[in-house]
Homo-oligomer: A and B are copies of this chain.
Amino acid sequence: MCQLLGMNCNYPTDICFSFQGFAARGGRTDNHQDGWGIAFFEGTGCRLFLDNRPSIYSPIADLVLRYPIHATHVIAHIRRASVGPVAIENCHPFQRELWGRYWVFAHNGDVPGLHAGDCRFYKPVGQTDSERAFCLILDALRTAFPAGGATVREVHAVLKEITQSIAAHGIFNYLLSDGNFFFAHSSNNLCYVVRQSPFSSAHLIDQDLSVDFQALARPTDRVSIIATAPLTDNETWTPMKPGELLAFENGVPLKF
């Protein structure tokens, strides 16, 4: 299994605090040692860092902690290999282009029985069931909206359908974003916290580290952090319901 971390906010923000606790689970406080990755959206541009070393020993993870990249949409993943060997091509997040935007996807769980041969436009490069699922999702979106231009509600509806059919194969917790839309789906294990005014301080579970958002954030800032398991022990994390597909926008979950 693996763990997911996502961030969606209304103003470019660095994820250093959350990533510090998350990266500790890649070998120190938990056993997700088979590689990791993180994608940052800066405007329409996307930077994807991948490493097949455990995040606690990775010089690239160390760089991500020391070099704060400000982004509105972030997706990170630490891997414990179930399907596919430990290799760069099997590290999440995966990236493809659709409608002139980069799409990024990371998955926690197992969805056995998906066939690479069923992927039409987008083909998997590595061996994971996760990448196959991603290709099938983008195939579905591309087929539904060949010219793009779909609203978040329209994308959500198509995503809901393809997600349900893939989730029938197993456990399908995922994060998906194109730097504009941000979706989170829970089969059984995903939760989120919304940080907004009035801000308070937060304390990591995986490391004895606190941050006082009251002192750092502006009154209008809004940040949602989405994770497999809560990262802090003094904030209220909302567990997502089984089968729930949320869209986040400007740091808050949308209600459809």
Please list the residues of chain A having a beta carbon within 8 angstroms of any beta carbon in chain B: 42-50, 52, 59-60, 63, 66-67, 87-91, 95-97, 99-102, 116, 121-126
A96 to B96 CA separation, bound complex (whole angstroms): 6
Q: Is the interface of A mostly helix, strand, loop or mixed?
A: mixed
How many copies of this chain sit in the oligomeric assembly?
2
From B63, B89, B101, A45 is in contact (CB under 8 Å) with: B89
In the complex, besides A43-B87, A46-B88, A97-B125, 19 extra interface pairs with C-beta distance below 8 angstroms are A42-B88, A43-B88, A44-B89, A44-B125, A44-B126, A45-B89, A45-B91, A45-B126, A47-B88, A59-B66, A60-B67, A63-B63, A95-B95, A96-B96, A97-B122, A97-B123, A99-B123, A100-B123, A101-B125
Contacts A97-B96, A123-B100 known; A59 to B67 CB distance under 8 Å?
yes
Residues of B within 8 A of A102 (CB): 125
Q: Is the CB of A124 within 8 A of B100?
A: yes
Instruction: Find the B residue at minimum CB distance from A96.
Output: B97
Report the minimal beta-carbon distance from A22 to chain B, rounded to whole angstroms: 20
Residues of B within 8 A of A90 (CB): 45
